[in-house]
């Protein structure tokens, strides 16, 4: 399990920061950055608020940010403006044995400025639920012939589960490669926690919906499926989803195509199949950004992903016409929690030697999580 410092014991309490204007917070953040210099890295996930992203040394998706931070030889502290599972991954990669050896055992301190910044999708698959499901599956199929794959949007405990059971981690950009790797070794895959990414990716590999039963951890038995359905399965999907991407609908796509002739639909593969099937382009956050960046002036887009990112793309590419693929505003509420007040509070406590929101993955969980992450990296090198 990940542990955190006692926030109540912090030298600086959070409340006073909340009353400060952004300009004052930015000035105070700059003071800490000047004091710590290259030893501090502030990481900003694409979904963060604009004022927080403006303070980030590196901007990107969760795994890419962790990789970049872990390879930085000067870094001794990471403030991860994202969510809990991202900070866990940063801790695992930055403090893996080879990196500790390079620093003579000195750990990189990883901070999550607001410990309430979690991920609803990651929370939909708890380790005890996954372990129970694995045991129950073992009653009807041979789990030695099943490869568990967890999406990177999951707790470190689930990554460690995959490491222990011959599985791996995947991202939205390499899910297909992960599935191919798995099918070279076993006849089935257990994919969690996002059913949509697993389904949309598997459908491109000629796996049918009939071969992808959905495991509901709250069902009475076998995740709500029959023993026959499990026996005939190729990919067993966990009943989880991203609350942001889940809300995009077929009718939203149809509305934009009707209202804006020639518009292109660009979505994340965490969207439901009915949306993903209708899209012109489906891809990871990085793919979405690169697609817009490479498009000519005058291109019309309706983009199905988190609102902050869509609005940022719209501001950065005024030569294109960019819309949010929904009439309903939907932001990642947990991502949105980190603001300048939390970031400033976190950094000033770090500088004072009383760090708050420290993410420290226990050694055993980190060891097996790293196994699963390294398998993902190996697949990427093939």
Report domain extents, the chain: 2-118+335-361, 121-242, 245-324
Return the pLDDT at 334.
65
From 3.40.1130, 3.30.70, 2.60.40, 3.40.50, which CATH number describes the 121-242 domain? 3.40.50
Return the pLDDT at 9.
46
Task: Give me the mean pLDDT over the 46-54 stretch.
Answer: 89
Tens digit of each residue's pLDDT (9 = 90 or more) over 208-246: 999 999 999 999 999 999 999 999 999 999 999 988 899
Confidence bin at 8 (pLDDT 50/70/90): very low
Instruction: Name the more confident of 172 and 68.
Output: 172
Is residue 118 over pLDDT 50? Answer: yes
Q: What is the mean pLDDT of the chain?
A: 92
Structural fold of domain 2-118+335-361: Rossmann fold (3.40.50)
Task: Give me the mean pLDDT over the 19-42 stretch.
Answer: 97
Return the pLDDT at 335.
63
Is residue 121 over pLDDT 90? Answer: no
Confidence bin at 67 (pLDDT 50/70/90): confident
Instruction: Report the candidate in 379, 302, 368 with the shortest Cα–Cα distance to residue 127.
Output: 368
Return the pLDDT at 92.
95
Out of 98-102, 325-329, 347-351, which region has the weakest mean confidence (pLDDT)? 325-329
Return the pLDDT at 331.
59
CATH 3.40.50.10800 matches 245-324? yes
Percent of the chain with pLDDT over 90: 80
Q: Matching CATH topology for 2-118+335-361 and 121-242?
A: yes
pTM comes to 0.91
């Amino acid at each position: 399990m990940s542990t955190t410092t006692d926030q109540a014991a912090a030298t600086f309490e959070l409340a006073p920061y909340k009353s400060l204007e952004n300009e004052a917070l930015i000035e105070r953040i700059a003071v800490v950055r000047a004091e710590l210099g290259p030893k501090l890295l502030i990481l900003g996930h694409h979904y963060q608020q604009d004022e927080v992203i403006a303070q980030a040394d590196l901007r990107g998706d969760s795994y890419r940010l962790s990789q970049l931070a872990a390879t930085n030889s000067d870094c001794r502290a990471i403030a991860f403006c994202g969510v809990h599972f991202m900070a866990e991954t940063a801790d695992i990669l930055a403090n893996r044995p080879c990196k500790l050896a390079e620093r003579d055992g000195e750990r990189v301190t990883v901070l999550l400025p607001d410990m309430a910044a979690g991920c609803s999708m990651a929370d939909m698959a708890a380790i005890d639920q996954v372990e129970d499901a694995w045991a129950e599956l073992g009653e009807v199929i041979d789990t030695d012939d099943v490869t568990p794959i967890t999406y990177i949007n999951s707790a470190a405990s689930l990554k460690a589960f995959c490491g222990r059971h011959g599985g791996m981690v995947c991202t939205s950009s390499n899910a297909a490669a992960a599935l191919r790797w798995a099918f070279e070794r076993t006849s089935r895959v257990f994919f969690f926690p996002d059913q949509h990414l697993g389904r949309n990716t598997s459908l491109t590999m000629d796996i049918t919906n009939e071969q992808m039963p959905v495991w509901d951890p709250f069902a009475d038995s076998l995740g709500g499926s029959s023993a026959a359905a499990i026996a005939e399965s190729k990919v067993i999907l966990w009943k989880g989803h991203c609350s942001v991407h889940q809300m995009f609908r077929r009718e939203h796509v149809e509305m934009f195509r009707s209202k804006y002739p020639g518009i292109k639909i660009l979505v994340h593969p965490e969207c439901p199949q009915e949306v993903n099937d209708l899209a012109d382009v489906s891809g990871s956050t990085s793919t979405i950004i690169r697609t817009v960046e490479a498009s000519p002036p005058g291109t019309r887009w309706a983009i199905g992903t988190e609102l902050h990112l869509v609005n940022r793309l719209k501001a950065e590419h005024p030569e294109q016409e960019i819309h949010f693929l929904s009439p309903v505003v939907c932001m990642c509420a947990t991502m949105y929690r980190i603001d300048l007040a939390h970031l400033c509070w976190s950094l000033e406590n770090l500088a004072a030697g009383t760090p708050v929101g420290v993410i420290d993955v226990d050694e055993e969980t980190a060891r097996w999580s790293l196994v699963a992450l390294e398998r993902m990296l190996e697949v990427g090198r093939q």
